[in-house]
Each structure stands twice: as C-alpha cells, then as structure tokens.
Structure 1
C-alpha cells in the first residue's frame, strides 16, 4: 500500500487510493477528480490530497487550500457540495492517529482553519477529528424494491401526468459534448432568479467536470423535437452506489409543463435501470424546514438524512489575528468558521 504515516499526494495517486477504498458508497463529490475540477471555480483554490496509512488501513482527505489575503497563511475547505475524509477503518485509535497527523501537517503548512461539509449518505463526520454540527435535513431516494413512484403524493403524480400530456421526453448523455451549452443554460437560469454570482460557474468548470467521467447530463424536451430547446436539464454525478443530483435548471416554458419534476422522476428511473441503489437529492436552499426546494425534493421520497458541517482551528493565535484583521467580516458572520470569504 506504500508509505505509512501522512503524505500529500498527486491527483493521480489520490484517485488510485480513492478507487481502491472498499466502501459501501463512494460519492462522486469526494472523488479527487471532482475536487480538482471544482477548483476551477476560483483561481485561489488549490486542490490538495492528504493520505494517512497505518496497519493496512487508509484515511484520505481531499480538499482545497486557499491563501488568506494579506497574510502568509491559508485556510482549507471542502469543494462545492460535500467533502470530508474517507476511511477504511472505524477504529478509534487509527482515526485519532490520522487526525493528529493531519493537524500537524496543517500547522506546518500554515493552515489556520478548515471548514468541511460532510456527505449525509456516508456520515463521514465520524472519520473527522474536529467539531461537527447539524445543518439541515436532506432527501435521498431508495431505488431498489417496490416502485417508488407509488408513494408519490397526488400533486406530484398530477404534475407528471401534465408533463406526459405535453409530450415531454427524457434523455441522458455524457456531459462532455454539451458542457458549454449546459453552462450557458445554467447561468441563464441562475440570472433569471437573481442568484448569488457565486453560483455562476464558468465554462471551464463544466468542461473539467465533464472530463472526469463522473457527470451525466439529463435533459427533457418535447417529443419529436430532438434539436429543440431544453425545458429542463440537470447534471448528475455518478459514484459507487450512488447517483447525486448536482446542478439543475429550467425555463419559464419548462415550468409551465412540470419539466423539472418530470426530469427528476425519469432520472430516478434511469438510475434504477443501471442498478444504482440510491439517488441523492440534497436539501433546501437554507436550513428552514419549510424551504420550498426541500418541499419539492421531499415529494420524491420521505427518507431524510442529516447534513452536518465541521471545522477545526489549527493555529489559534493566527485565527485570533484574522478576527482582528477582518473585524467587519467576523462581526457580520461569527457563525462561519471561514468568515472572511464565501466558501
């Protein structure tokens, strides 16, 4: 398995270790290739892969390092979506050793603080040595067994019938041939709803995401109009044992015929046909239990999981100095471990 102890890996090395980890689920959002592609969102993000090995076990942590403006310090954070470590062992002693080695590496590299978004399907906060806190409920669909559509509420069934009457059809393809087209489609939809510019990912993001081989494009159009406009489109990420609903968009015309609802139902059917046991839908746009996006996703499944986040301060004195340096940001966002930039 290689050298014991903590080491920083190249992306290729990290991918090899990731794919060798025998875990029930390996979400694509924790794949080192995804971490590298996601770094294209911001030139300040440096993909970093840490591996701890001992007694034949692996602990792998893929994250972004970022230089803190005006200092010689750094912070660490998960990619967009989810992150946190993967481990082949739940042994408390092994995990404590891995975290100690990670913390020492962070101190040596002048990393002050980290912020981690754990994956709810894995519950991988158990492999992390910092603090963890509840954030919000999320939705996952179990695709095996009985027909999941039988449990849909009447309003969703009616919406799907409306889409079918409108002649919608669903198709899946690799993202690569359509990366730029989807990027433009997604940005247009985000602009229409006046989304934060943080979410206006550039073409490079979608091209690099497509190059990982992890991304599938799902889109719906009207029957007989294969060259017509997408009424709804989404990027799904495929990892071991799990498909993830990643980014999605629709149009005013699509909303009129329930295109987003139709797309998600058909994507679940397509995943089941491929033998994928779960479709992860995620949660709302905020932690409120009455969030409209959470309400939409909950129509597809009553199964909820808990999404948690974590953080650790590795250099306490430097962290206190950051609070003084960025006093206005600290005052505005004391709940954010990385309070001086959007993560």
Structure 2
C-alpha cells in the first residue's frame, strides 16, 4: 500500500506544486496562507495512487495537559483537494487515503480532526463514510457568469438605492497601493471587530495583513471606499482558481450608517467580471438564516446559495472520551472536539 506523504512548510516548493496542480483549490490551501497559522504546525497530507492524488492541509496542535494531539483547519474554506475531478477519484484511492490518514493519526497520537470544507467545490465528497460531514449553514455567492445587468437585478431593492446614493454623495472605491492605506485599513478593521465584540480569532497582527496582501501564492486585493479623500471602509478580496473571496472587512464607525461596504461589494463584483471569474463568494453569517444580520446583509446581493459543511473525525474514541471526562465537559453540546469546549 502506498504510504501517505507528510509535506511540511519547509518543503515550500513541493507544497506549492501539489496545490497548483490540483483541480479545485483556493487560497486557503496555499503555503502562503498556511504559513500565517499560529495555533499549531501546518502540514499537507498527500495520498497518491498512480498519477492521481488527494491532499489535505491540517494544523496539528498539542492537547494541553496530555500527551496527545489533535488537528484543525485554517480559518476559511479548506478541506481535501485533488489533481482530478472529485467525482472521478477512484474508490481505491479514496480507501487508501482514508486508511492511511487514520494510520497517520494513530501513529502521531492525534485523537481527533476538525476541518472546514469548501462550499463551492463540494470537497466533502472525498470524506464520505470517513468520520462525519455536517451541513452547518448556507453561504452566498454572486454568479459572475450571468450578464452584468442580471447580476445587479438580483440585488435587494434597497441595496440598489443605497449604492446609487453613495455614488451621488461622492463615495468611490479604489484599490489600495500604499502602506499608509494598508495601515489605515488595519486600524479600521480592528476598530470594527472591537465594536462588534468579535472573538479573539478575528483579530490579527499588522504582520499578518502585510504577509497576506504581499504574498506570492495567490492574488489579494484591498479595496477602499473613500469620500472626500477620507477612507470610510475597506475589504480584502482574494482571487484564486476563478473564485473571488470576500475575506476581511471593516467600516469606520462614523460612516457605518452610510454602508459604504455595499459600494465596495458592487465594485468587487465588477472587478470579478473584468477578471473573467466564476463567482464572488461572500460567505455566510453566524447562523446562515434570515435571522442572522450578517447573512441577511450578504443575501441582499444574490439569491445563489452554497451549502457549507464541516468534517469531524475521531481516530481514538477511548482517548477522546477520557479527555472529555477529564475536562468535565457537557456531552450534550455541539462543539467539536468537546474537550476544547
């Protein structure tokens, strides 16, 4: 049986080759994004059979006060990728991938693994029957294959009105080109996260933003909304494999009622059309329903939904249960892994 390969960040060329030769991948899989991870050690698991392979990026973490480890995925939409279409991956390769991932986990004392999956590429298909794949919520995307006027017709009526009003009131959108503009966006983003009481994992260092925006693995663009030369809002977008992702965004408090982010998203859509992309993926909200304000905001731009799934896998049930018992965690909760709840 072909053994699984473990690619580390130090093997940068090999990591990059595997990702860029894959059919469906996003910036979440790239070396440049994974190297920003601070929670643990990023590795790429690669299972090959003949000329085909499946690759899975994960972050290995120590479990506090134990001799065991677990793993998770980077923030965003990761999961397995392959150099062939997912529906053409052979059962032999899938079985080999599943069996060897389990063997690696047991050898490395990895108790459990959690991964966010990619809603557009539907890579959950390569994990069917291997642990649990759970539908969490829906995400929103603008279909850039539609004619531009049809795309805009799908906007909520109030969005069309407010975008026109922003333009009349001299708001415009530019792409950031200077470090001063990046620094101001970082401040706006951080202030926004504080204002909405975001959790710690939504805060990033200045080095994170610069490494992200100036990386060599994928295209990243910072779009800024300005009024009278004042930056009012900004958002980072990525362009990878025909998909534009809406990544991080913030608005100055004094301009929040003007909602300049709506103009930024409209301009990002037009940019995506110019670049001949398939989708501008806006992502989801907290709950993926109309009761969720973030989801409702994004749904005002499109009626196209994708189903967002996560993967949960326990490789050693006995150790997992012991850890939950030691940590005295409520087993009725939906958090995974429970011992980190």
Q: TM-score, normalised by structure 1?
A: 0.89
Structure-2 residue corresponding to 1:53: 48
Structure-2 residue corresponding to 1:253: 254
Please give the per-residue CA displacement for 1:49-103, whole angstroms capped at 9, x wherever unaligned.
1111111101111111110001111111011112211123422221111111111
Please give the secondary structure, in 2, of the residue aligned with 1:9: strand
- Once the two structures are TM-superposed, the CA of residue 180 in structure 1 deviates from its matched residue by 4.4
Shift in alpha-carbon separation, 1:177–1:231, aligned structure 2, 3 A:
closer
Structure-2 residue corresponding to 1:244: 245
Q: Distance in 2 between matches of 1:109 and 1:312?
A: 15
Residues 36-115 of structure 1: pairs in structure 2 closer than 5 A = 36-37=35-36, 39-40=37-38, 44-89=39-84, 90-115=89-114
Q: Distance in 2 between matches of 1:28 and 1:333?
A: 35
Please give the secondary structure, in 1, of the residue aligned with 2:320: helix
Please give the per-residue CA displacement for 1:281-304, whole angstroms capped at 9, x wherever unaligned.
111122444211111111111111
- Once the two structures are TM-superposed, the CA of residue 175 in structure 1 deviates from its matched residue by 8.9
Q: TM-score, normalised by structure 2?
A: 0.90
Quote the RMSD (CA, aligned, Å): 2.1
**Gap runs ≥5 in structure 1:** none
- Once the two structures are TM-superposed, the CA of residue 243 in structure 1 deviates from its matched residue by 0.6
Please give the secondary structure, in 2, of the residue aligned with 1:236: strand
Please give the per-residue CA displacement for 1:162-204, whole angstroms capped at 9, x wherever unaligned.
1111111111246977554433321111111222223222223
Tell me, yes or no, if structure 1 residue 221 matches structure 2 residue 220. Answer: no
Number of equivalenced pairs: 328
User: Does the 8 Å contact 2:60/2:70 carry over to 1?
Assistant: yes
Please give the per-residue CA displacement for 1:316-336, whole angstroms capped at 9, x wherever unaligned.
221111111211xx2177312
Please give the secondary structure, in 1, of the residue aligned with 2:198: coil
Q: Distance in 2 between matches of 1:297 and 1:324?
A: 40
User: Does the 8 Å contact 1:175/1:235 carry over to 2?
Assistant: no
Please give the secondary structure, in 1, of the residue aligned with 2:64: coil
Structure-2 residue corresponding to 1:263: 264
Structure-1 residue corresponding to 2:307: 306
Q: Distance in 2 between matches of 1:296 and 1:192?
A: 17
User: Does the 8 Å contact 1:162/1:258 carry over to 2?
Assistant: no
Structure-2 residue corresponding to 1:338: 337
Please give the secondary structure, in 2, of the residue aligned with 1:112: strand
Structure-1 residue corresponding to 2:285: 284
- Once the two structures are TM-superposed, the CA of residue 276 in structure 1 deviates from its matched residue by 1.5
Structure-2 residue corresponding to 1:117: 116
Q: Distance in 2 between matches of 1:121 and 1:167?
A: 35
User: Does the 8 Å contact 1:29/1:237 carry over to 2?
Assistant: no
Please give the per-residue CA displacement for 1:35-57, whole angstroms capped at 9, x wherever unaligned.
222x13xxx42111111111110
Residues 86-235 of structure 1: pairs in structure 2 closer than 5 A = 86-89=81-84, 90-128=89-127, 129-147=130-148, 148-173=151-176, 179-213=182-216, 214=218, 215-222=220-227, 225=229, 228=230, 230-235=231-236
User: Does the 8 Å contact 1:152/1:299 carry over to 2?
Assistant: yes
